[in-house]
Amino acid sequence: MLIVADSSPLRYLVVLGAEQILPAIFGQVWIPGAVLAELSASGAPQQVRDLVSHRPDWLRVGEPAEESLDGIDRQLDPGERSALALAKELAADLVLIDEAEGRREAARLGIPMTGTLGVLRLAAERGMIDVPRIVDGLRTSGFYLNEGLIRFALGPWM
């Protein structure tokens, strides 16, 4: 499976200590340089900066061609825009993206997507995570929580 990620799902999975579910489920995950820059920025949590500075083999960096950015909403932040362009260029099976505007653009472009909760659901289905601990971690991580969505996505394992 070819996966491209925006910064938000990676950030939250690292903060939750659950980043190893990505290679376990997907193998490799691709990010564009703009996402690498966001994850490396001084405002990113230290454990996130540590991950990208000592990039594991499963985390690949690629740059979309400039023309791949054409037709992608210019109002999106550079990471979202580049992630969608890279996903489109690579004909990715899935893009990991959380923000509503980015998800709308992925849908418009016909790029299959999921977000942090979708990845956690896949991990829960496979018995790879302690769901109550993960949900508690989400509540304290700054992740925008909609309790109904959490119950829908992870309820059977809570």
Tens of pLDDT, residue by residue, the chain (158 residues): 999 999 999 999 999 999 999 999 999 999 999 999 999 999 999 999 999 999 999 999 999 999 999 889 999 999 999 999 999 999 999 999 999 999 999 999 999 999 999 999 999 999 999 988 898 888 888 777 777 877 777 877 76
Q: What are the boundaries of each domain within the chain?
A: 3-157
What pLDDT is attached to residue 38? 97
Structure tokens at 33: 């340089």
> What is 3-157's CATH superfamily?
5'-nuclease (3.40.50.1010)
31: left (phi over 0), alpha (psi -120 to 50) or beta: beta
Q: Are 97 and 119 in contact (CB under 8 A)?
A: no
pTM for the whole structure: 0.92
| Bridge partner list, 96 | 5, 114
In angstroms and rounded to an integer, the radius of gyration of the C-alpha atoms of the chain is 15
